Structure 1
Amino acid sequence: MKETNKSSARDASIAAANRKKIEKDRRKKQYDDLQVQGTNNSSIVSKRSVELLYSTKLQPELTTWFKFFVPKGKRRSPAINRGYWIRMESIKRLVMKIINNNPTKKINIINLGCGFDPLPFQLLEIYSETRDHLCFLDIDYPELLDNKLELIKKSPEVLDILDDLQEITKEELELGMKLKSANYKILGCDLKNEKLYQEQLESMCEPESVSVFIAEVSLAYMHHQDANKIIDISSKLPNSHFLILEQILPVDKHHSFAKKMLYHFEHLRSPLKCVEHYPKIENQRERFSQWFHFIEIHDLLQNWNLLIDADTKGKVKQIEEFDEWEEFIVFCQHYTIVHATNQDSVSLYQKQTIMPPPKFTVDPTPIEVRVDENTSLELKFAASALHHGKIIIHGGLAQTRTNQVLSYDYITGQTTPLETINPPSARMCHTVTPIANGQLLMVGGRGRPHQTFADVYKLTDNAWVQMKSLPNGRSRHSAVSVANGNYVLICGDGDGCEKDDIFQMYNVEQNTWISLQQEHEVIPPVSSSSMVMTGEYTGVIYGGMIEDVTPEINYSIYEFEINIANHQIRLTKLDSNLQFGRIGSQSLVKENKLYVIGGILKEKPTDRFDSIITYDLIRKQFSSTDFGSDIWTHRSPTMIGFNLVTLPDQNQACIVGGGGVCYSFGSSYNSIYLIKY
């Protein structure tokens, strides 16, 4: 009897524990689902910001639909606005291409995890004359769609664009239908319930129709097995297209942008689960090849280049001041759009020509990198130079643009603010260059984007003295000391620059500027290129942007020789290669070996083995170097807006400052890196 009682008590205890676990799991799932639903709130506010700025200027004839779902608009930063615009525009244009390719067939556009996205209403307006064959199905959590339905009911403009609202049958209610018209339906479904999802598709999509599935960062929060069940079910429909926008890790999870992105979603309790299993484009291709015979995959930067025409890009440039190309490029490289279809289909993209990557050898004299653990410098696009054995750091962008002067002791790691007399105004994207008599020359820079400065200052002791200004404003230019600091050469595009204004030479003694005429070959106007001296009057220059609409990149390296007497600079192209096409790279030269450091590549993010590379100027051969496993894992650099200062100690240099805004995930800043080469 006692054993029976003990057994019953044990069973009751186990049953109670199981009930407690079931309830705990239910609450956790409910909480996790709410966190995922919460991502809609921040996303839709950002999309409303885009609509306020972009849509009203690019397509003023169309209705602004987001306002019905986000009554109070909030303006995001230029980088976030442009990032969300290319996301939204890419999806919209790809859907429109599929619609245009199937003019006689009924087309179902199924938005999975639609949130408050008004894409159906945008496209119904665009195709107002030929929309009879279009039907939009919005699918998401039932609770979220209840809120969307209430907003729709309060918006006469939304109701007006929908063809006659129809009564929902009992069977349709059981399928989760919340609104029904000829062109638009709302269906509540937790996508982890694949049985209900399959029943919804079988009921709503005729076999002879074309079905376009959109998953804009909606399946990304699901376990990959659950997400793949949805893709599998969707692929069973004939003539189906699947468009999925998801995050990728083009380098690895330790890349500074990836690290910030992953932390952001973890912190929100809505971690990106699919990216763990499909971190690369090739993983996504393998994933979708299980169900579709035609697959094309491009990151968002390739979508910007291949889908957006030059005229639209030009209009986008005019919408708001923008000078965050590096941050935009890195963001785009971490998002991909997959187009997969089982319909006999042509590509939705135009063909592109890809420059082959360089062949690397391993540098026999590898670099050593160590981090200054004592110093944190959250500052980008400052100007730095060696001055009396210390590194002087001027200006740059912290929370705002600054005109502070800092002295960094690279031996002790101590940073000290310096009080100076007659300081220049706050600025960024300028240069500070050592000149004769132990002085520094500060040149140009900008305030807000495109507000370039032409002023020039000399720092003597702790006093700034204004010198002769440039003939036109410059920012994102490069500058080097020539002939033991008796001259300063700058190169870069500026306000109203002509071909022979690109190179300007400053005579320190005479306080004059000279325009150098290009001879032999001509380098186009460039910004954010890298220039370094190889001799008293010779040097090399590579990379940078030729224009900031596409942007077009300079992939060439040029050797130059200065003839001061004749006011000439003779240029010879040495080589062209993808690895020279860097925006904001820095460089140094030792014994015919060029060290190419950092910057942003348009084709791919720089990684542990090409954040610093070497190039043999004689053999024209690249070698890779290793940034170091420990540093890359824990303190990976953000190779944007930094300075490189060569130190008097033999074979040493210092990376100072730098960082970037990682989309809407927050900012990432560099450590101070000491390099031995």
Structure 2
Amino acid sequence: MARYKVLLVDSEFRQFALLRSLRKSFFNLISSRNITNDTFKMNVQSAKRNVLKSPVINRGTWLRTISIDMIINKFLQQFKNEKVQILSLGAGSDTRAFRILPKHHKNVDYFEVDFENSCKIKKYAILSSEELCKALFITKTEEKLPTNHNEFVTQSSSLESDCYHLIACDLRTLKDRKDALPSSFDWNKKTLVLSECCICYMGTEDSNNLLLSLKQNLSQGIFLVYDPMGGEKSNESRYGEVMVRNLRTRGIEMPNLMVYNTIEKQHQRFLQFGLCNSNLIVCDMRFVYENWIPRDEIFRVSKLEMLDELEELNLINSHYALILGWWGFEFRSNLKTELP
């Protein structure tokens, strides 16, 4: 993403917001019958105009990013001398692979899975940029970029390099189709399964079947899940009910929001997949903010952008869960847990 000079943005939180908006530009690439560089530049300029987000939202995005990165970095550091895998579920326009692979391509195979159209849009966004191709070690391809909707529909959605694999798959069917993942995916290697606001959009049965299937088929794995929680229905804030209504006005459903709506229910959910209690960490993001992030780092970022809505930040953070569970090997997280 260096092409877009993100570092010129004057606030670190605005950098996160800009990255979030730039992700959306993946989905604006094919907004007309003709795709041109001017169209993409317009999307980038639009993203820059929309970086002025609420400080609470910016702080939450920063916390989400830094905490997930913390776990992934611990995983990569612990197994830096062997080949490992990252399987990103519902990766969409996520940009994490662009940051990980330039440093760790020799010992990481990165697999991103999403619906076919999402993969196609991401594929052609990557192929349109030499810098993005370079970050993923994708060599020059003879495949032509689509210039209209018909070409977009008929062309392939897959994209691969020695260390990066973009895979079109309906996650609801993955439990029955191990062959949906390419032959380069090794079910016996240590694999970090990342679900960042993904399984919350799946039905309860579908999401549980997917996680259970991965737990049963991967001989050595670790779940890293970030998901919203609706909270107790009796809570005075009625946070979950308000969130459900707001999502419905946008045509969005989160079937699990009020099913696994507390830390305790999330904890019991992952125990049912056969994880040991000693190999399971389930925390809300308020706990993560107060116990995982170094004080000097919080002090540093607090000086970047004024935030006086601390009660609102705590409320929002208490309604998001970060879940870490591993099997088949010992993961040395050295992190406090909210539950015994």
With structure 2 as the length reference, what TM-score do the two structures score? 0.77
Is the 2:223–2:324 contact (alpha carbons within 8 Å) kept by the matching residues of 1?
yes
Match of 1:252 in 2: 233
Give the partner amino acid of 2:12.
Y
Is the 2:226–2:323 contact (alpha carbons within 8 Å) kept by the matching residues of 1?
yes
Match of 1:287 among 252, 258, 269: 269
Alignment gaps of 5+ in structure 1: 1-47, 59-63, 169-175, 355-677
Alignment of 1:79-158 (within 5 A): 79-125=56-102, 128=103, 130-158=104-132
Is the 2:175–2:214 contact (alpha carbons within 8 Å) kept by the matching residues of 1?
no
Alignment gaps of 5+ in structure 2: 1-5, 26-43, 143-155
Is the 2:112–2:167 contact (alpha carbons within 8 Å) kept by the matching residues of 1?
yes
**CA distance 1:108–1:197, shift in 2 (3 Å):** farther
Is the 2:86–2:109 contact (alpha carbons within 8 Å) kept by the matching residues of 1?
yes
Match of 1:16 in 2: none
Q: CA offsets per residue over residues 372-396 of structure 1, 9 Å max, x none?
A: xxxxxxxxxxxxxxxxxxxxxxxxx
Equivalent-residue separation in structure 2 for 1:191 and 1:135 (angstroms):
19
Match of 1:316 in 2: 301
Equivalent-residue separation in structure 2 for 1:213 and 1:150 (angstroms):
25
Is the 1:246–1:337 contact (alpha carbons within 8 Å) kept by the matching residues of 2?
yes
Decide which structure has the larger Cα Rg and report it: 1
Match of 1:209 among 189, 206, 217: 189
Q: CA offsets per residue over residues 359-417 of structure 1, 9 Å max, x none?
A: xxxxxxxxxxxxxxxxxxxxxxxxxxxxxxxxxxxxxxxxxxxxxxxxxxxxxxxxxxx
Is the 1:107–1:209 contact (alpha carbons within 8 Å) kept by the matching residues of 2?
yes
**CA distance 1:139–1:259, shift in 2 (3 Å):** same
Q: CA offsets per residue over residues 164-220 of structure 1, 9 Å max, x none?
A: 43989xxxxxxx861001121111112122257522347332244211111111111
Equivalent-residue separation in structure 2 for 1:253 and 1:191 (angstroms):
33
Is the 2:13–2:58 contact (alpha carbons within 8 Å) kept by the matching residues of 1?
no
Give the partner amino acid of 1:232.
L
Q: CA offsets per residue over residues 115-158 of structure 1, 9 Å max, x none?
A: 11101111224xx2x43011111111111121111211122211
Is the 2:136–2:164 contact (alpha carbons within 8 Å) kept by the matching residues of 1?
yes
Match of 1:242 among 223, 228, 234: 223
**CA distance 1:166–1:195, shift in 2 (3 Å):** farther
1:304 aligns with 2:289: yes
Is the 2:158–2:167 contact (alpha carbons within 8 Å) kept by the matching residues of 1?
yes
Match of 1:336 among 321, 328, 331: 321
Per-residue deviation, 1:230:
1.2
Q: CA offsets per residue over residues 560-608 of structure 1, 9 Å max, x none?
A: xxxxxxxxxxxxxxxxxxxxxxxxxxxxxxxxxxxxxxxxxxxxxxxxx
**CA distance 1:252–1:66, shift in 2 (3 Å):** same
With structure 1 as the length reference, what TM-score do the two structures score? 0.40
**CA distance 1:80–1:66, shift in 2 (3 Å):** closer
Alignment of 1:337-352 (within 5 A): 337-351=322-336
Is the 1:54–1:319 contact (alpha carbons within 8 Å) kept by the matching residues of 2?
yes
Equivalent-residue separation in structure 2 for 1:215 and 1:252 (angstroms):
25
Per-residue deviation, 1:104:
2.0
**CA distance 1:339–1:145, shift in 2 (3 Å):** same
Matched residues, number: 292
Equivalent-residue separation in structure 2 for 1:52 and 1:189 (angstroms):
39
1:54 aligns with 2:12: yes
Is the 1:241–1:342 contact (alpha carbons within 8 Å) kept by the matching residues of 2?
yes
Identity over aligned residues, as a percent?
Answer: 21
**CA distance 1:241–1:223, shift in 2 (3 Å):** same
Higher relative contact order (CA 8 A, sep 6+): 2
Per-residue deviation, 1:350:
2.7
Equivalent-residue separation in structure 1 for 2:14 and 2:58 (angstroms):
14
Is the 1:153–1:159 contact (alpha carbons within 8 Å) kept by the matching residues of 2?
yes
Give the partner amino acid of 1:199.
D
Give the partner amino acid of 2:89.
L
Give the partner amino acid of 1:90.
S
Match of 2:245 among 263, 270, 294: 263
Equivalent-residue separation in structure 2 for 1:100 and 1:330 (angstroms):
33
Match of 1:539 in 2: none
**CA distance 1:289–1:150, shift in 2 (3 Å):** same
Is the 1:140–1:191 contact (alpha carbons within 8 Å) kept by the matching residues of 2?
yes
Equivalent-residue separation in structure 2 for 1:264 and 1:197 (angstroms):
35
Equivalent-residue separation in structure 2 for 1:68 and 1:280 (angstroms):
29
SS at match of 1:109: strand
Match of 1:630 in 2: none
Is the 1:66–1:117 contact (alpha carbons within 8 Å) kept by the matching residues of 2?
no
Is the 1:68–1:151 contact (alpha carbons within 8 Å) kept by the matching residues of 2?
no
Which protein has the bigger strand share? 1
Which protein has the bigger helix share? 2
Alignment of 1:132-211 (within 5 A): 132-165=106-139, 178-194=158-174, 198-201=178-181, 203-211=183-191
Q: CA offsets per residue over residues 460-516 of structure 1, 9 Å max, x none?
A: xxxxxxxxxxxxxxxxxxxxxxxxxxxxxxxxxxxxxxxxxxxxxxxxxxxxxxxxx
**CA distance 1:83–1:123, shift in 2 (3 Å):** same
Q: CA offsets per residue over residues 291-328 of structure 1, 9 Å max, x none?
A: 22221101111121233212221221111111111110
Equivalent-residue separation in structure 1 for 2:218 and 2:261 (angstroms):
27
Equivalent-residue separation in structure 1 for 2:15 and 2:158 (angstroms):
34
SS at match of 1:319: coil
Give the partner amino acid of 1:245.
Y
Is the 1:285–1:297 contact (alpha carbons within 8 Å) kept by the matching residues of 2?
yes
RMSD over aligned Cα atoms = 3.0
**CA distance 1:323–1:124, shift in 2 (3 Å):** same
